[in-house]
Amino acid sequence: MKKNRQKPYECLREVALGFPETREDFPWGECAVKVRGKTFLFLRESEDGLGLSVKLPQSREFALEYPFTEPTRYGLGKSGWVTARFARKDKPPLDVLEAWIAESYRAVAPKKLSATLTSQ
């Protein structure tokens, strides 16, 4: 994977779609990556920059210490969802975001499917 040449949006989308049994939908004009019909990543890119939302049952409190994060709106924050936003000029910490996507996948995917993954 050419992470250094890809835009952050494309890199994160590719990571999410690399997990077993994933597909993407585009509700509300943003990318929603799902496993067996359940969303584990909302990803959007606009004139303002990059945004994503993930479910973080283990690292939510730590994730919310970053200046670019907040609990996800629409009541999802109460269920462990975290939103991160980056301006166009920002360089998102892709390694951190990739780890969050993996955690979110494991939180949403059926246990047997999650168990097939090597630690990521």
43 touches 12 (CB < 8 A): yes
Listed in sequence order, the residues at least 6 apart from 53 whose beta carbon sits closer than 8 Å to its beta carbon are 41, 42, 72, 76, 81, 82, 83, 84
Q: What is the model's pTM?
A: 0.89
| pLDDT the model gives residue 77 | 72
pLDDT of residue 28: 80
pLDDT band at 2 (very low <50, low <70, confident <90, very high): very low
- Per DSSP, 119 falls in state P
- Fold of the CATH domain 8-111: Aspartate Aminotransferase, domain 1 (3.90.1150)
Q: Distance of alpha carbon 7 from its chain centroid, rounded?
A: 15
Q: How far apart are CA 89 and CA 49, in angstroms?
A: 8
pLDDT at residue 1, as a whole number: 42
59 C-beta neighbours (distance < 10 Å), count: 15
H/E run at residue 115: helix 111-115
pLDDT tens readout for residues 20-45: 999 999 988 889 999 999 999 999 99
Backbone angles phi, psi at 98, to 5 degrees: -65, -40
Q: Can you give the pLDDT at residue 16?
A: 97
pLDDT at 5: 66
